[in-house]
Amino acid sequence: MTGPLRPEFHEGQVLASFDLAATVSYARATALRHARLAHDWGIADGLAMTTENRTDPTTGARYVEVSVQPGLAIDGTGREIVVPAPVVLSEADFEAVNGADRPTTEPYPVFLTAVDRAQPSTGLGSCAGSTGPTRVEESYQILFRRLGDERLVADQQPPAVNAAPAAPPVLWLVLLGFVQWTDGHFTAVFPNARGVGPRYLGVRADTVSARSGSLSLRTQPEAGEGKPALVLSGTTAPTLVYGLYKGTGDVDPLLTVESNGNLTIAGSFSGQISAGSVLVTSGSATDGMVLPLPSGVTPEEVADGRVSLHVSVTPRVPPSAKGLTVPAEATVDDQRRVRCRLRFYDPAAGSTTVKERSGAVDFLVLATVAATSGGG
């Protein structure tokens, strides 16, 4: 099996149409292989489905006119599909495919696919009298399919690495979204349905570098206020910042990793407790309260023995202007429930009765995992 063939020319060579076509095919095949193998196929830009409110002049029913906006997609063969201008979806085409279905609120998938359309010759005819087309329009077609056909997208298989640029034997389907159909009209548009949505263009790379010294990763093409971003910067002091965009376009840092390894976070830190570490919580609790666990420790970890708890409680004896108050009990049971009782005696009251009442404690809870236990 040979590799790609690159056309070569020399002085005095008689050029046939095949030779000229080979120059185009070689460049086209190179571009297709790059798009197919260095990227993940999908929508590159635009192609959103938008709606305009309409009223049926006969029935007075409200519906929507659906349009696909201009944009570009790369299909799984590496081919570009260009939609140069807005196109209104045809209700007649939809009805021809799904018009016989029973009424349903389930949305139907809408697909985009590449289509070649030969154009008639516009130049002078050849000496041999050939009248074949001299141009091929790389066009598109919008297709309506049956309910559930959105699952076909995941089953499509790309051509072989050395496949020549040609129309695929089966149309490659690019999902644009979903439409709802009611009483002969489109009534709504949905980006996702039944757990499936449009697929967007990706890149396959082990290294991504930035010439400016700062590399940003965000969830939208434009920096929108309140949207997340991850920024790797090395212009002055190298840092890794995760945060949210402010109205100015700057990133408000929520987590920062500095070049020396220092970690700064704006919120609280929680996570699975690691082997050999100790987590602590403290505070005050009254009789009957259940002591809290340190942040990052779950009751399940305590129950199955992965985490050991060490609890210390100290009764709080309130100062009294007269009389005597002493702690009678300050304990914590297996459920971490506090039991605190105080005894009070006032000799000036002329009574020998000792009264008992509930009290409060200061607590300290330590959660530990032994370094040799393999926990964490």
pLDDT at 82: 96
Query: What's residue 125's pLDDT?
Result: 57
The rounded Cα 222 to chain-centroid distance in angstroms is 16
Q: Residue 33, Cβ neighbours under 10 Å: how many?
A: 17
Give the pLDDT band (50/70/90) at residue 235.
confident
Residue 241 lies in a domain: yes
Residues 6+ apart with CB under 8 A from 110: 49, 68, 89, 142, 143, 144, 175, 176, 177, 178, 179
Q: What is the pLDDT of residue 228?
A: 95
Q: Is residue 369 a contact partner of residue 273, using CB atoms and an 8 Å limit?
A: yes
Distance between CA atoms of 255 and 276, rounded to whole angstroms? 25
The answer to the question of residue 213 being in a domain is: no
- What dihedral do alpha carbons 51, 55, 61, 64 form, nearest 10°? -10
Confidence of residue 374 (pLDDT cuts 50, 70, 90): very low
- Residue in 305, 287, 290, 306 with CA at minimum distance from that of residue 365: 290
- What distance in Å separates the CA atoms of residue 208 and residue 215, rounded to the nearest whole number? 9
The predicted-structure confidence for 44-60, as pLDDT tens digits, reads as follows 999 999 999 999 999 99
Query: Are 93 and 145 members of one domain?
Result: yes
- Rounded average pLDDT over 277-299: 91
Residue 330, pLDDT > 60, answer yes
Write down which residue in 267, 298, 321 finishes a domain. Answer: 267
One domain, residues 285 and 243: no
Rounded to 5°, the CA angle 238-239-244 comes to 150
- Say how far apart CA 102 and CA 181 lie, in whole Å: 11
Same structural domain, 179 and 74: yes
> 233, 267, 301: which is the final residue of a domain?
267
Q: 375 or 55: whose pLDDT is higher?
A: 55
Beta-strand pair 263-265/251-258: antiparallel
- Over pLDDT 90: what percentage of the chain? 56
Q: Residue 296 — φ and ψ, nearest 5°?
A: 100, -5
pLDDT at 128 over 60: no
* CA distance from start to end of the chain: 54
Residue pair 367/278 in contact (Cβ under 8 Å)? The answer is yes
Rounded mean pLDDT of the chain?
88
**pLDDT-based confidence at residue 174 (cuts at 50, 70, 90):** very high
Q: So what's the pLDDT on residue 93?
A: 96
pLDDT for position 375: 42
Strand partners, 188: 180
Helix/strand/coil percent split, the chain, to 5:
10, 40, 50
Into how many domains does the chain fold?
3
Q: Rounded mean pLDDT of 112-122? A: 84
Task: Evaluate if pTM is beyond 0.75.
Answer: no
Whether residue 310 lies inside any domain: the answer is: yes
Residues 173 and 296 occupy one common structural domain: no
Answer yes or no: are the C-beta atoms of 366 and 296 closer than 8 Å. Answer: no
pLDDT of residue 92 exceeding 60, the answer is: yes
- Looking at the domain assignment, is residue 373 inside a domain? no
> Same domain, yes or no, for 362 and 316?
yes
CA dist., res. 20 & res. 59, Å (int): 58
pLDDT at 169: 65
pLDDT of residue 272: 64
307 and 180 assigned to the same domain: no
Indicate if 239 and 334 belong to the same structural domain: no
- Does residue 214 lie within any of the structural domains? no
Task: Residue 328: give the domain boundaries.
Answer: 278-368
